[in-house]
Amino acid sequence: MEGAQGSPPVSRSPVPGSDEPAGAARGPGGLPPGESEGCARPLETAPKKLCGYLSKFGGKGPIRGWKSRWFFYDERKCHLYYSRTAQDANPLDSIDLSSAVFDCKADADEGTFEIKTPSRVITLKAATKQVMLYWLQQLQMKRWEFHNGLPAAPDAALAGNGPALRLELEQEEAELEEFLCPVQTPPGLVGVAAALQPVPAQSSALQNISLKHLGTEIQNTMYNIRGNRQAQGAGHGPPGEDSPPSGEPVREEQPLPPNPSAPGDDPADSAKPAPKSSLTANLIQKAKRQNNTFPLFSEGLTRNRTAQEKVLALEQQVLILTKELKSQKELVRILHKALEAAQQEKRASSAYLAAAEDKDRLELVRHKVRQIAELGRRVEALEQEREGLVQTASLREQQVQELQRHVQLLMDKNQAKQQVICQLLEKVTQDFMQPHNRPPAPPDAADRDFLSQQEKMEHLKDDMEAYRTQNRFLNSEIHQVTKLWRRVAERQKALLMKCAYLQAKNCQVESKYLAGLRRLQEAVGDEASECSELLRQLTQEALQWEAGEASADSGVLSPISSEYDEYGFLTVPNYEVEDLKLLAKIQALEVCSHHLLAHEAVERPRRERWAALGELAPSAELKQLLRAGVPREHRPRVWRWLVRRRVQHLQAPGRYQELLSRGQACSQPAARQIELDLNRTFPNNKHFTCPSSSFPEKLRRVLLAFSWQNPSIGYCQGLNRLAAIALLVLDEEESAFWCLVAIVESIMPADYYSKTLTSSQVDQRVLQDLLSEKLPRLMAHLGQHRVDLSFITFNWFLVVFADSLISSILLQVWDAFLYEGTKVVFRYALAIFKYNEEEILRLQDGLEICQYLRFFTKTICDSRKLMSIAFNDMNPFPMKQLRQLRTAHGERLEAELQELEQLKAAYLETQASRLPAVPEACASEDELDGEA
């Protein structure tokens, strides 16, 4: 069976036209010779169709209980249809098995199992335990075949697809046979042969009626009555038999009907109002139209049968129709009572409307009020009765608990007795071994006690076997459902990857389209022509288009699905110049494309490596991970660890609060400059532009605390952006403060943020030397056009690219910068120029080059390419060389500053010596003002 083995057994349906039952050629108990019960493989003659009678628990009110239903599985839809009998024309409802799970409980009634779907739970009961296990395993098999796209007949599939599919089925079957052996097909209780069996008897005919599907019940009844009349008029054959030729074979499969009352369908479609005169005719016509849609076994099964079988079938039909007639009469009686109540209500309403005077109407209203009051008293009485029943139930629960405690005591006593019995058995054995010392026979009471204990042990063994069977089946169900879930997860992952790839391609196409618009716009210029007007219109439409609209259906795949990124930066920078706005849109699309393409191939493995890293410690692996970037969920923890390594010799408990208190006690000279720079911090970040945001206040406190921490610097322009980046990632003021301290006092060289910015100027000269070494063509080109790079790169080093790179690349640079130091800044500065080298070389005008260098860092979108250039293409990059260049340029700069100071002092002396003396006859301007 598939549920326990993962693949269907090889089974064949009976030969068409054969009278041999499905269970023929079997040994005692319905098993073939040589096979044990419960662990036998299905015979080659097992029925192909999954169908049979089961009891379904349902209904409401007095008719709630077990109802006999005929179940039939649809191979195409993976639905289990059911009707009242096998001869019904229309099914009552269906169960979707594609997303269902199956369960059986050892403590429930024998043969009871459940089918659990996302919307409901269906409780069914088979005639025997073997039938229940057969149904469960067959349903598991059908579900597995449906999810794996296997055909209904394994033999046909194996014949058409070769040995590969057969091998897969055999492997799955062998894997699942460890849980539960295949159950033998119960003879006569399932399959086509079950339709010939009598319908299981019910306690009352009304109980088997489905009021929920009353329209379908009426249609089936009309069809059966009509079929019976036709059969009796013909004088032969059972109802529904159309006297086919004797040689016509039994139909193997028939198409299944649409489910008129399945969940989600409009119930009005199955019972539309019609004129009374044509109601019966419509029902008969509808039954005739649908008589070939549901598997009616009365047609295919009654052919080629003996006269005795036909007589038995007719008698069975008579019994069924008699029961149906009784149930229909009972239903008519119930509906008659409801009609009488409605008529009384109608008469009362008519009397009220027909009353001539208000007095009569008032009397009618009073009568209704008295009735309402009487009903209210009845409701109160029923409520009191309910409360009494609740109290009685609580007392019963207490009694049950007391009985449970008593049962527990009896079980303990029983266990003690079992121990005594074991001792007595040992003693009896010893007495048999030693007949001369054998004691007298125990009394009759001890014999009875021994027999009762033996009986209880047998019951316990039966329970143990039932629980073992339940455990094996549930293990097989868990195993198969887990495999199905994994396959669904793999398919979903593949679809997400495909969606991300297609979305990335879409972004690339849009980016190329916008880039083409920009080039055409530059080529056409401002010429008044139809082409330029069309370009302006297309450009305006491109700028008005929101990136979030195109990716609204893509969920979390697109990083530009919102206006801001995860750290609050604008995903599309807001440039004032129209050309730059178009460039910003192109940049956002390229960022989206790179992110989507790297999501599964790069991002997921990187996140898994970080999740498995555990405790942080300096290592080559950590260095490579930091260079590749830290995932957002791990970045705050990693940055705190990096900062703590840098400032652990400076940190002291309560230091930050102490500095804040000092700032409140007296004013800081740098406070005015800090206030001026607060409003200029990251104007494209919502956390620093929103009036209700708390970030500006946090930034103010961090900068004031640092000005007291390092009075020699106090505050320098650029520190606000360093502290802001730390706040965005760490979110805590104190952590951001120590991050700023680590950058200024530990990572960067001394005097980097002093008033003279000596170390900053030295690094600019070092960068010029490195550019000449690593990128000689670019430096020659810039030197030819007299472009000074220090105007652009000075700010890069001062704020560690905070204003230059997009946020995703910026934070990746900071991840490595906090661990490795300033060497990372040089690496990325060189990599930025290498990334855009060809674009710069194409420019042949100095002014145009300077304009391009103002914003060209924002066009960098591929973080992996930039990182590869920085840490691979720029090698070798020894720290020793960097120190030597810094030392040499530092000495040179000191000498130049001293020379400049000497020149300044000499100039002042010369100016003082050249001042002419004021003549006595000439009055100074101050004296003239005094006289006036």
38-42, 466-470, 626-630, 708-712, range with the lowest pLDDT: 38-42
Contact by Cβ (8 Å): 713, 759: no
User: Which 3-state string (H, E, C) describes 299-310?
Assistant: HHHHCCCCHHHH
Residue 852 CA to residue 839 CA, distance in Å, equals 9
- The pLDDT, as a whole number, for residue 794 is 93
Displacement of CA 777 from its chain's centroid (Å): 53
Q: Where is pLDDT greater, at 222 or 15?
A: 222
Q: Which residue has the higher pLDDT, 590 or 429?
A: 429
Q: Which of 802, 810, 804, 816 is nearest to 628 (CA)?
A: 816
Would you state the pLDDT for residue 482? 82
Lowest mean pLDDT among 552-566, 647-661, 799-813: 552-566
Peptide linkage before 876 cis (omega within 30 of 0) = yes
For the chain, percent of residues with pLDDT exceeding 90: 21
Q: What is the pLDDT of residue 813?
A: 95
Residue 643 has a pLDDT of 95
Look at residue 243 and tell me whether its pLDDT is greater than 90. no
**Mean of pLDDT values over 303-317:** 72
Least confident window among 37-41, 182-186, 613-617 = 37-41
Give the span between the Cα atoms of 883 and 360, in whole angstroms. 112
Over residues 239-256, the mean pLDDT reads 38
Please determine, for residue 930, whether its predicted confidence score (pLDDT) is greater than 60: no
How many CA atoms are closer than 13 Å to the CA of 441, on its beta-carbon side? 4
Q: Is 123 helix (H, G, I), strand (E, B) or coil?
A: strand
Quick: pLDDT tens for 744-797.
999 999 889 988 888 999 999 999 999 999 999 999 999 999 999 998 999 999
Q: Out of 112-126, 136-150, 315-329, 370-384, which region has the weakest mean confidence (pLDDT)?
A: 136-150
Please state the pTM of the whole predicted model.
Answer: 0.50
Q: What value does the mean pLDDT take over residues 670-689? A: 88
The two tokens of residue 516 are 């083409």
Beta bridge partners of 67: 56
Distance from chain centroid for Cα 290: 41
- Cα separation, 192 vs 155, in Å, equals 20
Is the pLDDT at 413 greater than 90? The verdict is no
pLDDT of residue 218: 74
Residue 347 clears pLDDT 70, i.e. is over it: yes
pLDDT, mean of residues 2-13: 37
C-beta of residue 171 within 8 angstroms of C-beta of residue 25: no
Segment holding 775, helix H or strand E = none
When pLDDT is averaged across residues 8-35 and rounded to a whole number, the result is 37
Q: Are strands 79-83 and 65-74 parallel, antiparallel or unpaired?
A: antiparallel
pLDDT higher at 411 or 260: 411
> In this predicted model, which residue has the larger pLDDT, 164 or 370?
370
Does residue 416 surpass a pLDDT of 90? no
CA distance 189 to 211: 27
User: To which H or E segment does residue 411 belong?
Assistant: helix 358-433
Q: What does the alpha-carbon distance between residue 615 and residue 612 come to, in Å, rounded to a whole number?
A: 9
pLDDT tens, residue by residue, 609-638: 888 888 889 999 999 999 999 998 999 999
User: What band does 697 get if pLDDT is binned at 50, 70 and 90?
Assistant: very high
Instruction: Copy the structure tokens of residue 784.
Output: 């030819």
pLDDT tens digits, one per residue of 433-443:
665 554 555 55
**For tokens 């059986």, what's the residue?**
104
pLDDT of residue 167: 58
pLDDT of residue 799: 94
CA dist., res. 786 & res. 685, Å (int) = 35
pLDDT band at 798, cuts 50/70/90?
very high
In this predicted structure, what is the pLDDT of residue 760?
92
- What is the spatial distance between Cα 39 and Cα 178, in angstroms, rounded to a whole number? 11
**Is-contact 172 6, C-beta < 8 A?**
yes
Distance CA(101)–CA(293), nearest Å, equals 28
Percent residues over pLDDT 70 in the chain: 65
pLDDT digits (tens, 9 = 90+) for 711-753: 889 899 899 999 999 999 998 999 999 999 999 999 999 889 9
- Between the CA atoms of 278, 284, 285 and 290, what dihedral angle is there, to the nearest 10 degrees? 150
160: which 2 tokens?
């058409």
Average per-residue pLDDT in the chain? 75
Report pLDDT digits (tens) over 507-566: 667 666 666 766 666 666 655 555 666 666 666 666 555 444 443 343 444 444 456 778
